[in-house]
Amino acid sequence: MDNIFSRFFIAASALSLTILVSCSHEETMAELTGRVMERASIQFAILDHHLQDGEFPRSYDDGRYIDSPEGWWCSGFFPGSLWYVYEATSDESVKEMALRQTHRLDNLVELYTDHDIGFQVNSSFGNAYRLTGDESLLPVIEAASAKLAKRFNPTVGCIRSWDHNWYNYPVIIDNMMNLELLLNASDLFACDSLAQIARTHADVTMKNHFRGDFSSYHLVDYLPLTGEIDHKQTVQGFAHESAWSRGQSWGLYGYTMMYEKTGDEKYLSQAENIARFLLPMMPEDGIPYWDFNAPGTPDASEDNAAGHPSKYFWREGEKIQRDASAGAIMASAFVALSALTKDSKLSSECRAMSEKAIRTLASPMYFAEVDEQGGFLIKHCVGNMQGLSEIDVPLTYADYYFLEAIVRFNRM
């Protein structure tokens, strides 16, 4: 049978075998990590090159960079993302970039405007110190934690989030994320009062921000002279009584972190209950819609029936948007919780959900090509749907928590 047909047959069989072999091989998490970190090194060099004095990456929309000043709550995430790439690769050139980008925030403590100094300094200087042990980084961490602690009112038992004057004393669920700076600083500088503030804030938030089903309100406005609650509301979510996805991710992450750092079981139990609320509502690929209760949001079975992966859900001609940033934060929190909980079923569910989300975010649907999205990594995030801002765009914090999730996944 040595003719053109037999040669064609042999070639076609070899091709089918190659396709079969390559289709049957699921990328391992080690391979995924290598691929993501390589892409991140290239993308972040593009971002680094783009930034001018006083500019920090925020997002990229319609071919245009959206930068932010140093004081914006997200200014620490780009240096922090670089630190995670360095942690995963030991690449000295990435370390040099991470250190340079971190030091661009040297004056942040003078410029800070709200509670988010915790996010800003912990993701940049906190990671820098964790990975290098360089003590010259400590004064910024110490000064930032002191500024954050000054925003604590013992009558309310919480750190004030914002100074906008139309609120009495606003505390948002996001504020749980700023407590990590206080707990780290408490250990570093042997200052127990910082840890005490963090614990009190977490306790009061646990009491007042959560509903019976362990979903959370976005904002609780207190009366600062008495500590009474004036009202509860949303700012970025669909409705006051809805479960805004990123808010739920901050709560899950925040209480998991509180348990990890303090060993206090009540925080573990809170994180487990938040996870038990979230897991049944998550789409199969691990990326939530921007608000679990926004009109038209499919439930898990409807979503799965629609087929995956899908970055949107269409209902009656309207696009229901996912928020990849909430997916990235949850992926990082779920994997951390899976290592801490003693409930073995919950542990495997959390780990599986984290892996699903990481794999989805690392797929072409969400993971930017080289030079696409201006050097950001993760597409299809929602910053503020209600404010009609940052819809279906990359966001610097999605990149940060995505990389953190991968580093944590490999560590645990």
Integer angstrom CA distances of residue 88 from 84, 121, 374: 6, 21, 22
Q: Least distance in Å: CB of 127 to ligand GLY?
A: 19
Residue from 300, 407, 309 nearest 366 by CA: 309
Beta carbon nearer to ligand GLY, 310 or 389 = 389
Q: Least distance in Å: CB of 236 to ligand GLY?
A: 6
Distance of CA 333 to the CA centre of its chain: 8
Q: Least distance in Å: CB of 66 to ligand GLY?
A: 14
Helical H runs in 112-191? 117-121, 127-132, 138-149, 179-188
Q: Does 218 contact ligand GLY by CB under 6 A?
A: no
Residue from 256, 258, 236 nearest 245 by CA: 236
Angstrom distance (rounded) from CA 341 to CA 122: 25
Q: Among positive and negative, which fits the CA dihedral 155, 110, 138, 334? A: positive
Beta carbon nearer to ligand GLY, 137 or 220 = 220
By CB under 6 A, the residues from 32 to 91 that bind ligand GLY are 73
Q: Least distance in Å: CB of 119 to ligand GLY?
A: 8
Q: Omega of the bond prior to 309 within 30 degrees of 0, cis?
A: yes
Give the DSSP letter of residue 137.
G
Q: Least distance in Å: CB of 410 to ligand GLY?
A: 26
Size of the chain, expressed as the number of residues it contains:
412
Q: Which residues are catalytic?
A: 116, 174
Beta carbon nearer to ligand GLY, 161 or 297 = 161
- The residues, ordered by sequence, that sit 6+ positions from 268 with a Cβ below 8 Å of its Cβ are 255, 256, 259, 340, 341
Q: Under a CB-based contact definition with an 8 Å cutoff, are residues 281 and 299 in contact?
A: yes
Q: Does 261 contact ligand GLY by CB under 6 A?
A: no
Residue 60: beta bridge partners? 65
Give the DSSP letter of residue 174.
G
Beta carbon nearer to ligand GLY, 73 or 409 = 73
Q: Does 174 contact ligand GLY by CB under 6 A?
A: yes
Integer angstrom CA distances of residue 182 from 52, 264, 338: 31, 16, 24
Q: Least distance in Å: CB of 14 to ligand GLY?
A: 51
Beta carbon nearer to ligand GLY, 43 or 59 = 59
Q: Does 404 contact ligand GLY by CB under 6 A?
A: no
Q: Does 246 contact ligand GLY by CB under 6 A?
A: yes
By CB under 6 A, the residues from 84 to 113 that bind ligand GLY are none
Size, binding site for ligand GLY by CB under 6 A: 4
Residue with tokens 């700012």: 235
Beta carbon nearer to ligand GLY, 268 or 405 = 405
Integer angstrom CA distances of residue 380 from 209, 236, 309: 28, 17, 13
Beta carbon nearer to ligand GLY, 129 or 169 = 169
Residue from 316, 283, 288 nearest 301 by CA: 283
Interaction site with ligand GLY (CB under 6 A): 73, 174, 236, 246
